[in-house]
Structure 1
Amino acid sequence: MTRFPTSALNAAAGGLLLSAALLSSCGSASAPTDLAPAAAAPRAAVTVGQIRLDTIREVLHLRAISAYPAKDVLRATTTGYLLAPVPVPGQVVRAGQTVFTLQTKESRTLRLDQLTGDPKLRFSGIIRIPSARGGVLATVDRLAGDYVQDGEQLGLVYDQTRFGFILDVPLTELRYVRQGQACRLTLPDGRVLPGRVAELLPAADLAAQTQRYTVRPVGRFPQLPENVAVSVELNKTAPYLARTLPREAVLTDETQTSFWVMRLLNDSTAVKVPVRPGLEQQGRVVINTPEFAPHDRLVLTGGYGLDDTAAVHLTN
């Protein structure tokens, strides 16, 4: 058995320990000394505001059609030929003004209109047809030179002083409409005219179950043709004060059975608060319950999709 010197064994052991120490130092240098900090949780950017007191009116929205209820039909009073000049549609006429002129067929055949020597021949065969009332000529049905029969319609005059709108009110809403009630008329181009409910017509639509009223514009109004559809707004209640929020601040689920708003607990946390919304008017929603304090901060925009307790970032 071979024996190694003790000094050689000690040197070898020392070398092994040095190698282990070096390997340990290299491994510790490559290992992380501590864990990386966790990423900060994202925050939703929101704008906030307070609840507001607004004057609210419950409004009934209906449709009406423009109409000229007073019309005069101008008819031929004899058989003959229509003489020039013939008026044009849209022409304004006065009460008693001659609108159409006829010449009888006998007068044209015998040329009675050209006989001037004998004073006994006072009948010239020229017939004048005046308008019974002032208004605007809506239609002209014949041209100069046309041969017309006795009683044939020549034109139609609308009495502009009787211009109005025909309003059909559902029988379920009759309690909100009365004669003399003020209303607002919105024309197709966006103009709004003041109006007033005038006459109650003694007729109801059997199929639609509606009661018919006439509505008259108040003050000056533009000249409109018949059969123009307008929107009519009538107040269902007297004005009252109510707490409102913008429509965007009131959130709901897919079935629109649950409603809520997001209220700030502090500058970085918002919580869900169930609400019972009411009437919506001009982009604002009445909040019936709960009663928020004037200093409560509520999320106006950016609250869509937030959880019950959400981290937020104020942008206003």
Structure 2
Amino acid sequence: MKIKIIVLLSVTVLLTYGCGAKDKESASSEDQKPTTPVTLTTPEITSMEDEVTLNATSVYILKTDIKATINGYLVKSGIQLGDKVRKGEILFRIQTKEAKSLGNEVNKLDPTFHFTGLNNILCPANGFVVMSNHQKGDYVQEGEILATISDKNSFGFVLNLPYELNGILSINKEISINLPDGKKLIGIVNKIMPELDSVSQTQRVFLKLKQPANLPENIIAKAVLVKSEIKQAVTLPKQAILSDDNQATFWVMKLINNTTAVRVNIKKGIEKAGRVQITEPLFSGRDRIITTGNYGLADTAKVSVQKTNNQVQ
């Protein structure tokens, strides 16, 4: 009888020891479960603008043809293509055959009379010579175009505005214009043409520069138009946003404690300068969102925080 009791006690001790070892092994494997290193951020409240960017081309909308006023010979033609000219400057002098012949005879009779019979043609505006058709000595007829001057005051940018956006522009509204070399200008809506292109359904808009700039024609710049503005937008960095292959569903990984991240589906709003507006759900400044290490994380994934932005605790 004593032997049976001793055997039973020995078996009980062995079973108890074995179960305890298994429990320790389970706890140890749970503690050693791999975690993903991540960095965090928090939502920020910022002002966001919904913008649309359109091409705008530099142009002189007013070009003036300089025409001959009489038949005769050009005795002065000192301008060349690309020259800068000023209003009131003498561009051409024309003398008729009769005036030239009569002038010589008069000067022979009375040298003090200084008769020349010259006809001066003046520049009508400040600008640049964009076309020059004649040189000194050419014979021209009345009404013939001698040169073409672009009016410096008519310089600006023209953009083609889709008709569905016509409500976002008004006369004197300021528009940001970005040049190909990185410079930024301010344009003011000066004219909205009262006609629509029947094919593209766009309306021409002329932007006059707020500050004068010495620029050539046909620069293709980017005009940035503001469609709407949100003063208090909840935003996250773009790298915090995840999506499916079809870009139909979006979500973020949010920490619910110091080691566990859960998936939260979201709805996006405006995107600008690397930040995205979150319209749903309504995050607070205390929510901790993963920015790096979030790709491929499953719901309720274990993580270890390596770095925290915005001083999240």
- Identify whether the pair has TM-score above 0.5, normalized to the shorter chain: yes
Q: Scaled by the length of structure 2, what TM-score is found?
A: 0.78
Cross-structure match for 2:247: 256
Q: CA RMSD in A?
A: 2.8
Q: Which amino acid in structure 1 is aligned with residue 263 of structure 2?
A: K
**Cα distance in 2 for residues equivalent to 1:46 and 1:253:** 20
Are 1:214 and 2:206 matched, yes or no? yes
CA deviation after TM superposition for structure 1 residue 149, in Å: 4.1
Q: Scaled by the length of structure 1, what TM-score is found?
A: 0.78
Cross-structure match for 1:167: 159
Q: Counterpart of 1:243 in 2: which secondary structure?
A: strand
Determine which of 262, 280, 292 is the counterpart of 1:289.
280
**Cα distance in 2 for residues equivalent to 1:282 and 1:212:** 29
CA offset digits 1:73-115 (Å, max 9, x no partner): 112334444445521333332222111233445677x595697
Cross-structure match for 1:13: none
Cross-structure match for 2:181: 189
Q: Which amino acid in structure 1 is aligned with residue 256 of structure 2?
A: L
Report if the CA contact (8 A) 1:102-1:127 is conserved: yes
Which moves more between the two structures, 306-315 or 296-305? 306-315
Q: Which amino acid in structure 1 is aligned with residue 178 of structure 2?
A: T
**How many residues of Structure 1 are paired with residues of Structure 2 in the alignment?**
279
CA deviation after TM superposition for structure 1 residue 281, in Å: 1.1
Report if the CA contact (8 A) 2:77-2:135 is conserved: no
**Cα distance in 2 for residues equivalent to 1:282 and 1:130:** 52
Identity of matched residues, %: 34
Report if the CA contact (8 A) 2:76-2:94 is conserved: no
Q: 1:143 to 1:43 in 2, by over 3 A?
A: farther
Cross-structure match for 1:22: none
Q: Counterpart of 1:226 in 2: which secondary structure?
A: coil
Report if the CA contact (8 A) 1:74-1:156 is conserved: yes
CA deviation after TM superposition for structure 1 residue 55, in Å: 0.5
Report if the CA contact (8 A) 1:80-1:148 is conserved: yes
Report if the CA contact (8 A) 2:76-2:91 is conserved: no
Report if the CA contact (8 A) 2:37-2:306 is conserved: yes
**Cα distance in 2 for residues equivalent to 1:183 and 1:241:** 23
Determine which of 71, 89, 92 is the counterpart of 2:81.
89
Q: 1:111 to 1:263 in 2, by over 3 A?
A: farther
Determine which of 173, 178, 188 is the counterpart of 2:170.
178
**Cα distance in 2 for residues equivalent to 1:105 and 1:303:** 89
**Cα distance in 2 for residues equivalent to 1:164 and 1:279:** 30
Are 1:132 and 2:124 matched, yes or no? yes
CA deviation after TM superposition for structure 1 residue 200, in Å: 2.3
Gapped runs of 5+ residues in structure 1?
A: 1-34
Q: 1:122 to 1:257 in 2, by over 3 A?
A: same
Q: Where does 1:258-273 land on structure 2 (aligned, <5 Å)?
A: 258-273=249-264
Determine which of 100, 104, 121 is the counterpart of 2:92.
100
Are 1:66 and 2:58 matched, yes or no? yes
**Cα distance in 1 for residues equivalent to 2:185 and 2:104:** 52
**Cα distance in 1 for residues equivalent to 2:35 and 2:132:** 72
Cross-structure match for 2:221: 230
**Cα distance in 1 for residues equivalent to 2:76 and 2:88:** 19
**Cα distance in 1 for residues equivalent to 2:35 and 2:179:** 46
Are 1:299 and 2:298 matched, yes or no? no
Report if the CA contact (8 A) 1:113-1:126 is conserved: no
Q: Which amino acid in structure 1 is aligned with residue 125 of structure 2?
A: R
Q: 1:247 to 1:105 in 2, by over 3 A?
A: farther
Cross-structure match for 2:233: 242
Gapped runs of 5+ residues in structure 2?
A: 1-24, 308-313
CA deviation after TM superposition for structure 1 residue 232, in Å: 1.6
Are 1:47 and 2:39 matched, yes or no? yes
Q: 1:196 to 1:114 in 2, by over 3 A?
A: farther
CA deviation after TM superposition for structure 1 residue 69, in Å: 1.8
Report if the CA contact (8 A) 1:81-1:102 is conserved: yes
